[in-house]
C-alpha cells in the first residue's frame, strides 16, 4: 500500500479534467490511496484565520468549487480523497476547528509555515534567516509543531522539519535530538500521524522530510506515517517514493495509514 495525500491542484482550474491528470499519474506510480489537500489560505472562507498581506493577495478561491470538483470526480469514477492543508497558528484553534467542521474532509494536514508574520519557507523572505539565530528559529518552529499536535485538530503533521528547507540547521546534534524526542512524544501522545515527504528532495535542502534522526524518534514513540509528495503538478505525484519507502523501512516502519472520513486504518507498507 502506498499513499499520496499531500497533493495540490491549485495551479489549474477546479475541474475534473485537470484533476484527471493527477489521477493518471497516481495510477501510473502504483499509488492506491491518494487525495487532494489544497492550501486553506487560498480560500475566502479562511480570511478570519489568516491576517498578513502575503496571504491576503492569494485568497481568491472558494471552498464550494473545490468540493464540487471532488464530488464530480468521484461521480466520474475517480477514487480521490478530500483533504485540506491548514496552517497552524497559536491562538486560532477555535477558528480553525470551526472551518474544518464545515466540510466532509477525509483527512486534515496541519502544517507550520509561519512564525508570526514570517513565512520561513518563502524564498522572498529567506533573508530573514540571516537576521535571526538558527537555534531560536528552530525552537520557535517546533514549539508551534508541538502546539499543533496538542490541539488535536489535525490528522497528519505536514513536512515535519520544514525549517531545514534553506539549509539553516543547528550544528549541535544533541540540541536537535532533544528537540526531536520532545516533538515525537507529543505527536504520539496526541495521536497525530506524520508524513514522510519527498518534497524536500525538490527543495534547496535536497533531502526528505523528516530527517532520519527525527523519523527514528517518531518510530520509537509509535507515531504512524503516511507517504506524500506535496505535488503541485501532475508529474510530481509519487515522485521519489522508492527513497521514502526505503527510509521508512530502514527506520523500522512496516505499516502506513489510510484515511477516510478522518478515521485512520493501518495497512502494510508497500
Residue 257's nearest CA partner among 218, 231, 205 is 218
Query: Cα torsion for 14, 125, 112, 193, to the nearest 10°?
Result: 70
176: cell is 536537535
Q: What is the pLDDT of residues 5-60, one digit of tens each?
A: 999 999 999 999 999 999 999 999 999 999 999 999 999 999 889 878 888 888 88
Q: What is the pLDDT of residues 118-133, one digit of tens each?
A: 999 999 999 999 999 9
CB contact at 8 A, 231 and 262: no
Query: Cα torsion for 269, 199, 21, 70, to the nearest 10°?
Result: 80
Read off the pTM: 0.96
The whole-number average pLDDT for the span 179-194 is 98
Domain 3-268 fold is TIM Barrel (3.20.20)
Neighbours of 91 (CB within 10 A): 7
Neighbours of 34 (CB within 10 A): 27
SS3 percent helix, strand, coil of the chain, rounded to 5, is: 45, 20, 35
Amino acid at each position: 500500500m502506498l499513499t499520496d495525500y499531500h497533493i495540490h491542484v491549485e495551479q489549474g482550474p477546479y475541474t475534473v479534467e485537470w484533476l484527471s491528470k493527477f489521477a493518471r499519474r497516481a495510477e501510473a506510480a502504483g499509488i492506491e490511496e491518494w487525495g487532494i489537500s489544497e492550501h486553506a489560505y487560498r480560500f475566502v472562507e479562511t480570511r478570519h484565520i489568516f491576517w498578513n498581506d502575503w496571504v491576503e493577495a492569494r485568497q481568491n478561491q472558494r471552498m464550494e468549487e473545490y468540493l464540487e470538483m471532488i464530488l464530480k470526480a468521484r461521480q466520474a469514477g475517480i477514487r480521490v480523497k478530500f483533504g485540506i492543508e491548514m496552517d497552524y497558528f497559536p491562538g486560532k484553534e477555535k477558528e480553525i476547528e470551526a472551518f474544518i467542521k464545515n466540510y466532509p474532509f477525509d483527512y486534515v494536514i496541519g502544517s507550520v509555515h509561519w512564525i508570526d508574520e514570517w513565512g520561513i519557507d518563502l524564498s522572498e523572505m529567506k533573508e530573514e534567516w540571516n537576521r535571526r539565530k538558527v537555534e531560536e528559529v528552530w525552537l520557535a518552529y517546533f514549539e508551534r509543531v508541538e502546539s499543533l499536535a496538542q490541539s488535536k485538530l489535525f490528522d497528519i503533521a505536514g513536512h515535519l522539519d520544514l525549517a531545514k528547507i534553506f539549509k539553516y540547521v543547528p550544528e549541535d546534534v544533541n540540541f536537535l535530538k532533544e528537540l526531536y524526542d520532545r516533538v515525537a512524544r507529543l505527536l504520539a501522545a496526541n495521536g497525530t500521524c506524520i508524513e514522510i515527504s519527498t518534497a524536500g528532495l525538490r527543495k534547496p535542502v535536497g533531502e526528505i522530510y523528516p530527517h532520519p534522526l527525527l523519523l527514528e524518534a517518531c518510530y520509537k514513540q509509535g507515531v504512524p506515517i503516511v507517504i506524500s509528495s506535496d505535488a503541485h503538478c501532475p508529474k510530481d505525484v509519487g515522485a521519489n517514493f522508492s527513497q521514502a519507502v526505503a527510509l521508512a523501512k530502514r527506520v523500522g516502519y512496516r505499516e502506513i495509514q489510510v484515511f477516510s472520513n478522518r478515521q485512520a486504518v493501518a495497512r502494510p507498507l508497500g
